Amino acid sequence: MTHQNPPSIIALDGPAASGKSTLGQTLANALGYLFFDTGVLYRAITWIALQQHLNLQDETAVTKLAQDAQIDIRPPSQKDGRAYDVLLGERDVTWDIRDGQVDANVSVVAAYAGVRQALTDQQRRIGMRGKVVMVGRDIGTVVLQEADLKIYLDASAEERAKRRFDEILARGEPAQYKEILHNVIERDRIDSTRAVAPLRPAQDAVIIDSDKMNASQVYELVMGLCK
Ligand code: DC
């Protein structure tokens, strides 16, 4: 389903660690578009809540955080592997929001309707300007239903856990495959069973199963769809 050639608004959804960020970034670079990784917003709210020792079960308090938070995403200020800076006020939280504590708790925060409402409004405002590759879970189904091209990037939980495991080892950090697999499955479960904006392909999405494809094969396939 392509309305424009090349498509101006590209929605890229899929489960955790399916390669959305890599694909989204390469695609955005090639097209000269903005790359917007919306998971960053949910992660930033989770990180603040943990910092403030907020009870994450307290939906009202977490929602208020999401409504008040000043999250900024800027071009990368450092060459340490980051694709962008994530700022909370003056503080650079680009790597903080990737830590295990945030991974383990972000799905709970992302399931709250009020949190989603606050963050969806911000995403829509940016996405509707066009020339954007927006990556998330509900971009094609909720945030930008009018997207010109919708991709749903899938892969088995085992393959995704293996990729995440290799990534962490490559950074020289310790990793346990079994633990990562468990987290991936648990995040999928929460993300796809929540009442509001659950993870699922949009009806008009192109579904790509990347189990037996490498990153450049996926990229070529999607570039082909853009032409
Ligand atoms: O893509 P990620 O791993 O950075 O996303 C972190 C969490 O945020 C993920 O568990 C689900 C949630 N999320 C969401 O619910 N909707 C989005 N558009 C993006 C992320």
End-to-end Cα, the chain, rounded Å: 12
Strand order in the sheet with 85-88: 71-74, 85-88, 91-92
How far apart are the CA of 42 and the centre of ligand 1, in A? 6
**Looking at ligand 1, which residue's alpha carbon is closest to its atom 8?**
39
Residue 140 is given by DSSP the state I
- The response to whether residue 96 sits with its C-beta less than 6 Å from ligand 1 reads no
φ/ψ of 41, rounded to 5, equals -65, -45
pLDDT at 13 over 60: yes
**Looking at ligand 1, which residue's alpha carbon is closest to its atom 14?**
137
- The response to whether residue 163 sits with its C-beta less than 6 Å from ligand 1 reads no
CATH of region 9-221: 3.40.50.300
* Chain position carrying tokens 């989204």: 24
pLDDT at 2 over 60: no
Q: Of residues 4 and 35, which shows the higher confidence score?
A: 35
| Strand-strand pairing, 149-154 and 206-209 | parallel
The confidence score (pLDDT) of residue 168 equals 87
Sequence-ordered list of residues with C-beta below 8 angstroms from that of 142, at least 6 positions apart, any chain: 120, 197
Q: Is the overall model pTM greater than 0.75, yes or no?
A: yes
- Chain segment 114-148, per-residue pLDDT in tens: 999 999 999 999 999 999 999 999 999 999 999 99
Q: State the average pLDDT for the chain.
A: 93
Where in the chain are the domains?
9-221
- Chain segment 24-38, per-residue pLDDT in tens: 999 999 999 999 999
Q: Residue 156 has which token pair?
A: 């088995």
